[in-house]
Amino acid sequence: MVPVAGEAVPALRIRCGEIPYTVRRGDAPILIGRELPAQIRLDDPRISRTHARIDVDGDHWVMTDAGSTNGMYVDGRRVDSVAIRDAATVRLGHAEGIAVILRVEDTTVGTATAVDIDVGVARAGAAVADRREELGHPRRRLEADGVIAQQALADFEVGRVWPSGEVRARLEQFLNWPPGTIAAVRAGHQVPEDESTEILSDTVQVAVMVDAADIALGNVKNRMKKAPPQDDPAYEDYVAGLLFDLRGLETMARNAGRTTRRPDVAVVLGDIRRTYNDVMARAAQAPGAPLSRRLYAARHAAELTVEETAGAAGVSVEAVADAEAGHFVGAADTTALETLVRRLATR
């Protein structure tokens, strides 16, 4: 572990069970308890909701009892606090209770081999796990719905991995959380209770959402540049992934617009839609592109509404919507829409 220049207090390694954490002065205070807002959670009835607190005191770390019911113990004695200048083992809830092993990092030796857990990421991941379990969704459900892979979700929920802005947006939509909630929880904001949209102020919510959307859009645009050739068999799946991510971003921004009513959201939503249209226009030029993409691209290039397109083709509005969504459309309607697409392409 490379020491941070000017850091007076060394990093602290914490191990509870099999999970190692590494915290630095800027992460303090660290809470240990049975439930959130504790960043390090222990599932044991003897552990209080907020059981202990780890903080910096001058030039060293200190662990204190946070008013727990069953206390913390060192060498069999109940203590209110313990200074951590080198190493210590503190047991929670009982003299033989859960061991919390604390060790001040020795910055004079090489890089440690333990897997680091970012406490902010762990806090956000724990909040996601709580909400997921509250809604009754196993990890495999989120993978099946295209939200996030099971292993990636497991790594996030214990703080090992920070998901991309696109994945966070999909998680927030799946969990019925306001856009930007996950990043805000990582930064120390309160975890949403029930389905309240009042957890974050408008200013914070929009700022986080805009940042997330910018990062995600930048990622999509970079991926567009790296797309395989249009005649490559992998092109279809590649583009489908881009469009899926953009639809998730559009939903996030649209939902934010309903709750925050700020111009920032309109700017982001417009950028997302322009990018979506650009991807669709390129995808429509691929050999064998389906009617759904060719119709969408032709309609937007001609600046026609769904209603105007339906009228021009002599079909119902529902037929246009179904065709663009890739749903089944009758032969007569398909022929009419194909004719319109060819006609628009000649202009």
DSSP 120-144: HHHHHHHHHHHHHHHHT--HHHHHH
Residue 126 φ/ψ, nearest 5 degrees: -65, -40
pLDDT higher at 6 or 173: 173
Regarding pTM above 0.85, the answer is no
- Other C-beta atoms within 10 Å of 118: how many? 19
Q: What is the pLDDT of residues 292-345, one digit of tens each?
A: 899 999 999 999 999 999 999 999 998 998 888 777 888 999 999 999 999 998
Angstrom distance (rounded) from CA 329 to CA 322:
7
CA angle 247, 252, 254 (to 5 degrees): 90
Q: What is the pLDDT of residues 43-60, one digit of tens each?
A: 788 899 889 999 988 888
Q: What is the pLDDT of residues 80-129, one digit of tens each?
A: 999 998 888 999 998 888 889 898 876 443 333 334 556 778 888 888 98
